[in-house]
């Protein structure tokens, strides 16, 4: 079987006096008669290569499905007079959103379930479906929801009358991920500009018959808008943020036709984020505090800020959740999350919630009620399945509401997790989280090493039931907590961005070398994986050490960095200058050019490579992985396998639907195992 060969058609560009030749530039044009046939030919080649693994792929998929409770429901979330929850039905791809009326006195469910949104019905006739949000009005009579049916992340806003079950005729296109009710008839939403940046905030008055009102427009192309209703219900919070700066405007929900006011001034390279609680605005800010500090001011006088929690060199503040008499603060110390609870009745006091495992994480979610002393969080680790707890912030006791069952006899006691440290070339210690079966003692063993390392995004040591299909075949699974992530605080992020970006790649290589040196694995047994900016990581480390990795998986990889960052008409580009640098400036151009995967493909032997793409991807355009694979095929000197799989009707996240996603993961694992 011969792989496809994309034609070489030189395209020249002069950048900083340098003439740059791109032989596959034409693949950017999906209307070019060669583009779609090339992607289809790659898909066909992938199918042929993977045909001998079809039985294994099916086996792995069936294993993954057999571990999940296909018909299941989430823990209900109280909001107003109702308890909201989602449930899944065996054989159906998408969740069904439901509610039941709850008695205020007994907190008991009424007998009748109301289906408020069946995503399976909404997805009918579409190859892709995504729900950005579904937000009930404060009195529970209306539902605002936004859907995308092609993976472009451009959503359409609809409204449903929950008393009649009828969807209203109004459709608002081109909306994004955030929306909020001010009152029971006024809804605020954001729309996108031509680069798919959320830049405008609109006010929609249901039943008014008048055009929607433009409330705010962000003219700085680096900034995105998002809007939310405070849990107290008293304010709308409009957040404008870039990769380096942010600010918040507020509006009383009692005056939805009013003007949003700035909470604090916007300052370049200063971030702050707000919550409202107990008559105060609370702000976490990195002003003179790289790991953030906590401030508050009376909501009647937001200029009067006082410090509540000072900056700490060893602890970063990551989030705030306000309740009537409490504030839940998510922190991070030594690379692990911790939850601090403030009691705000009289004098402020706080305590930490205790967690036990060596590598774990939690997510504060499912907290819609303000008048409560209970905070809900989801706890998980590399061996502990997703577990929903309600924590009483006064008594400091917790109740396990649900541990999502892993069918088939999974026992956490059969597995073990650990946290080790590799040493980077500059002497920095880089954490690595590991999990494997306790019986995997015959070392070295096959190992799957995951990395991301950009935007300060966290690589949490969370549970995955799909991963068991590797662990039970003798694999070790590892996460490299490299610089560029936020895993060890803000400095860890700053040390892996802009002109320090190469630290991300050398950290990852150091983790791989450490795992080999400590006899966990060998280069011939080492698979690595990452997606999006983690796909850039895959391409960069392949070029730096083509000998080190046996198999590489690069999902929707951001590999054409120079060309993308030079094109300000593309989604995200201008906003990304604060992450990667602006290549229109010579210093940043030279630095990005030094590591960008596409420009640095070698005439050398590489490992096996699985690359994925989405034709409708607005974040990493399909042509980036397509051009990269074409160049690798042209230049590499080995006979190892390269396959490119493009989903023709989806975007950045790949196929939608829970079964489709399990099939994608089974395909990836089958590729690794058969190499």
Helices (H), 75-173: 119-123
- The per-residue pLDDT for range 575-631, each reduced to its tens digit, is 999 999 999 999 999 999 999 999 999 999 999 999 999 999 999 999 999 999 999
CB neighbour list of residue 670: distance below 8 Å, 6 or more residues apart: 50, 53, 56, 57, 60
Please check the confidence at residue 215 and state whether its pLDDT lies above 80. Answer: yes
| Domains by residue range for the chain, with CATH | 11-65+414-674 (3.40.50.1820), 70-116 (no CATH), 126-255 (2.130.10.120), 271-405 (2.130.10.120)
d(CA 100, CA 310): 43
Mean pLDDT of 444-471: 97
The pLDDT score that the predictor gives to residue 648 is: 95
The pLDDT score that the predictor gives to residue 367 is: 97
Please check the confidence at residue 103 and state whether its pLDDT lies above 70. Answer: no
d(CA 528, CA 554): 9
Please check the confidence at residue 419 and state whether its pLDDT lies above 60. Answer: yes
Mean pLDDT of 223-237: 98
- The per-residue pLDDT for range 360-414, each reduced to its tens digit, is 999 999 999 999 999 999 999 999 999 999 999 999 999 999 999 999 999 999 9
- The per-residue pLDDT for range 533-570, each reduced to its tens digit, is 999 999 999 999 999 999 999 999 999 999 999 999 99
Please check the confidence at residue 107 and state whether its pLDDT lies above 90. Answer: no
Q: Which residues are catalytic?
A: 532, 617, 652
Q: 240 with 247: CB under 8 angstroms?
A: yes
Please check the confidence at residue 334 and state whether its pLDDT lies above 90. Answer: no
Mean pLDDT of 234-254: 98
Can you give the pTM of this predicted structure? 0.96
Token pair belonging to 674: 């058969």
Backbone angles phi, psi at 553, to 5 degrees: -115, 120
- The per-residue pLDDT for range 121-134, each reduced to its tens digit, is 999 999 999 999 99
The pLDDT score that the predictor gives to residue 111 is: 57
Backbone angles phi, psi at 501, to 5 degrees: -60, -30
Please check the confidence at residue 462 and state whether its pLDDT lies above 90. Answer: yes
Look up residue 253 and give its DSSP letter.
T
The confidence band for 346, taking pLDDT boundaries of 50, 70 and 90, is confident
The pLDDT score that the predictor gives to residue 359 is: 83
d(CA 204, CA 213): 7
d(CA 590, CA 121): 51
Q: 430 with 421: CB under 8 angstroms?
A: yes
Q: Is 171 exposed, middle or buried (0-12, 13-18, 19+ CB in 10 A)?
A: exposed
- Mean pLDDT, the chain, as a whole number? 96
Cα-based distances in Å from 473 to 53, 447, 470, 646: 16, 11, 5, 28
The pLDDT score that the predictor gives to residue 1 is: 81
- The per-residue pLDDT for range 115-171, each reduced to its tens digit, is 999 999 999 999 999 999 999 999 999 999 999 999 999 999 999 999 999 999 999
Please check the confidence at residue 475 and state whether its pLDDT lies above 70. Answer: yes
The pLDDT score that the predictor gives to residue 398 is: 97
In this prediction, what percent of the chain has a pLDDT beyond 70?
Answer: 99
The confidence band for 276, taking pLDDT boundaries of 50, 70 and 90, is very high
The pLDDT score that the predictor gives to residue 105 is: 45
Token pair belonging to 411: 């026992």
The pLDDT score that the predictor gives to residue 289 is: 97
Measure CA of the first residue to CA of the last residue in the chain; give whole Å: 16
The pLDDT score that the predictor gives to residue 328 is: 98
> 553 has which bridge partners?
529, 610
């Amino acid at each position: 079987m011969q792989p496809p060969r994309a034609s070489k058609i030189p395209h020249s560009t002069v950048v900083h006096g340098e003439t740059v030749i791109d032989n596959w530039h034409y693949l950017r044009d999906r209307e070019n008669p060669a583009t779609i046939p090339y992607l289809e030919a790659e898909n066909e080649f992938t199918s042929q290569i993977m045909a001998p693994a079809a039985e294994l792929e099916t086996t792995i998929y069936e294993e993954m499905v057999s571990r999940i409770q296909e018909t299941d429901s989430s823990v209900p979330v109280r909001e107003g007079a109702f308890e909201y929850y989602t449930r899944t039905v065996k054989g159906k791809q998408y969740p069904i959103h439901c509610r039941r009326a709850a008695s205020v006195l007994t907190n008991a469910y009424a007998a009748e379930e109301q289906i408020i949104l069946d995503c399976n019905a909404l997805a009918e006739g579409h190859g892709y479906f995504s729900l950005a949000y579904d937000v009930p009005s404060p009195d529970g009579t209306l539902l605002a929801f936004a859907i995308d049916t092609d993976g472009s992340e451009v959503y359409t806003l609809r409204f449903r009358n929950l008393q009649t079950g009828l969807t209203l005729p109004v459709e608002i296109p081109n909306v994004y991920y955030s929306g909020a009710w001010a009152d029971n008839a006024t809804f605020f939403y954001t729309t996108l500009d031509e680069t798919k940046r959320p830049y405008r905030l609109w006010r929609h008055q249901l039943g008014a018959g008048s055009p929607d009102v433009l409330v705010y427009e962000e003219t700085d192309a680096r900034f995105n808008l998002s809007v939310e209703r405070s849990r107290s219900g008293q304010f709308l919070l409009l957040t404008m943020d870039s990769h380096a700066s942010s600010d918040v405007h507020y509006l009383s929900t009692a005056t939805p036709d009013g003007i949003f006011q700035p909470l604090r001034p916007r300052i370049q390279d200063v971030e702050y984020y707000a919550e409202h609680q107990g008559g105060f605005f609370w702000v976490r800010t990195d002003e003179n505090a790289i790991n953030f500090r906590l401030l508050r001011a009376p909501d009647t006088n937001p200029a009067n800020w006082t410090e509540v929690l000072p900056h700490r060199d060893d602890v970063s503040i990551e989030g705030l959740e306000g309740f009537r008499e409490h504030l839940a603060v998510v922190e991070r110390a030594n690379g692990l999350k911790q939850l601090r609870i403030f009691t705000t009745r009289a004098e402020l006091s706080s305590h930490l919630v205790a967690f036990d495992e060596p590598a774990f994480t939690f997510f504060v979610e499912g907290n819609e009620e303000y008048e409560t002393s209970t905070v809900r969080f989801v706890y998980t680790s590399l061996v502990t399945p997703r577990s929903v707890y309600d924590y009483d912030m006064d008594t400091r006791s917790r109740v396990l509401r649900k541990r999502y069952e892993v069918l088939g006899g999974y026992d956490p006691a059969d597995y073990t997790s650990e946290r080790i440290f590799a040493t980077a070339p500059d002497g920095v210690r880089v954490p690595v989280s590991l999990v494997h079966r306790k019986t995997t003692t015959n070392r070295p063993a096959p190992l799957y090493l995951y990395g991301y390392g950009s935007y300060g995004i966290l690589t949490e040591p969370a549970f995955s039931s799909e991963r068991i299909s590797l662990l039970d075949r003798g694999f070790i699974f590892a996460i490299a907590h490299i610089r560029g992530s936020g895993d060890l605080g803000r400095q860890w992020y700053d040390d892996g961005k802009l002109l320090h970006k190469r630290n991300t790649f050398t950290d990852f290589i150091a983790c791989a070398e450490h795992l080999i040196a400590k006899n966990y694995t060998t280069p011939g047994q080492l698979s690595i994986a990452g997606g999006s900016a983690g796909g850039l990581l895959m391409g960069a480390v392949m070029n730096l050490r083509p000998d080190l990795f046996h198999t590489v998986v690069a999902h929707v990889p951001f590999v054409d960095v120079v060309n993308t960052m030079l094109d300000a008409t593309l989604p995200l580009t201008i906003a990304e200058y604060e992450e990667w640098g602006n290549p229109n400036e010579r210093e940043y151009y030279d630095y990005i050019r030094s590591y960008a995967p596409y420009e640095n493909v070698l005439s050398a032997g590489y490992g096996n490579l699985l690359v994925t793409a989405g034709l409708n991807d607005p974040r990493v355009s399909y042509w980036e992985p397509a051009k990269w694979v074409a160049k690798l095929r042209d230049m590499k000197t080995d006979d190892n396998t390269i396959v490119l799989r493009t989903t023709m009707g989806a975007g950045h996240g790949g196929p939608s639907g829970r079964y489709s996603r399990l099939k994608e993961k089974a395909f990836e694992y089958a590729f690794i195992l058969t190499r």
